[in-house]
Amino acid sequence: MTEQQPFASLEAAHSAGVYAKRPITLVRGSGATLYDDHGQAYLDCGSGIGVANIGHCHPTVVQAIAEQAATLTVCPEAFHNDQRALLQAELVQLFPAEFQRVFLCNSGTEAVEAALKFARMATGRTAIVAAMRGFHGRTFGALSATWESHYREPFMPLVPDFSHIPYNNIERLQNAITEQTAALIIEIIQGEGGIRPATAEFLQAAQTICHERGALLILDEVQTGFGRTGRMFAFEHYGLQPDLVCLAKALGGGIPMGAVVINQRVGELAIGTHGSTFGGNPLACAAARASLSVIRTEQLVDQTAEKGAWLLTQLQAIRSPKIREVRGLGLMIGIELKEKVSPYLQKLMNQHQIIALNSGSNVLRLLPPLVISWPELERVVATLRSMFE
């Protein structure tokens, strides 16, 4: 172990080796601030890749986890549980009335896997259509819906009968969705694919075409959900009526959790057709209930709409030959550069103590906690302006 980075070298000695690492060791977080093992503070504009919407270690969630950890953490879905029953009821309350059922799991990729299986089972069809540049997870089904070849190639063959269309291309959608299509799966804003919002026309056409041809519309809101875009769920911006909505990341307030919220149009799912040992566990459900209460009581959705609009305007006002476009919705912002983004991420972290993300090789992605303060937002804008102007 090196004295400067004792934990980094220890971790590197035993890690599977699949992750690119940044040279800091994060050991504590509070609100939108993270601290490394030397006590250095960082302003977090990554939220753990869109998880810490309510900030790090929110006291309400910490208390709920502590209480549930001392009460019951293990309860498979073979038995009823109070926290799960309450969370399910509170979760479907956030959706239109036709959404009455939810499948609980432990990650985004699991939510996508469940939605894909439910769609094939409910329709009796096998074809799945997804979007180019889309990202839906790393497990074989979700990976089959994910576009970029560098995610897919080492693992071929993937699940058969998946195809991809250009995002926002209605004509290709018309040709791709047929009577054999079980579902279309899309993001409202492509998160890993470069912070690319769908057009309202594309989304409306997707819903119309799917429902006219008996296919289900699966919305992957793993990254856009829980206030991230300035509405509780991004589909609300467009008045959509999806059939299955995949959720995860911020759902559990930092505790791993995923969910599929199911429109009654999908019909009944037969007992024994899917499952998960940890899905719906009391600890995650208690954390999720606490997180939802924080989003509600701190009015984080409305705050995000206001802060996000201001941030987007400020960043779009930066005049720089290095910036191609600034886009996004709420506090899900992408700055597309005319060059590689990684040097800028390193500079932000090492010289300015701001942690931001990439999305692809040339988009600087900002996913700050929704609790980020106005002074912290002003610091982000001032820093980026100084870097790019």
Ligand X SMILES: CC(=O)N[C@@H](CCCNCc1c(COP(=O)(O)O)cnc(C)c1O)C(=O)O
| Contact residues: ligand X, CB under 6 A | 19, 49, 107-109, 112, 135-138, 187, 191-192, 220, 222-223, 248
Find the shortest distance in angstroms from Cβ 226 to ligand X: 13
Give the residue with the Cβ less far from ligand X, 220 or 376. Answer: 220
Least distance between ligand X and beta carbon 222 (Å): 4
What is the spatial distance between Cα 26 and Cα 23, in angstroms, rounded to a whole number?
10
Rounded Cα–Cα distance for residues 83 and 179 (Å): 40
Please state the closest distance from residue 17 (CB atom) to ligand X, in A: 13
Cβ nearer to ligand X, comparing 323 with 357: 357
| Cβ 316 to ligand X shortest distance, Å | 24
To ligand X, the closest distance from the beta carbon of 388 in angstroms equals: 25
Cβ proximity to ligand X, 154 vs 321, nearer residue: 154
- Of 238 and 388, which has the nearer Cβ to ligand X? 238
CA distance 302 to 240: 20
Alpha carbon separation from 75 to 72, 286, 288 (Å, rounded): 7, 13, 16
Nearest approach in angstroms of CB 381 to ligand X is 25
Residue placing its CB nearer to ligand X in the complex, 14 or 80: 14
Q: Are 364 and 234 within 8 A, CB to CB? A: no
Nearer residue to ligand X within complex by CB, 112 or 173: 112
Q: In the complex, which residue's CB is closest to ligand X?
A: 108
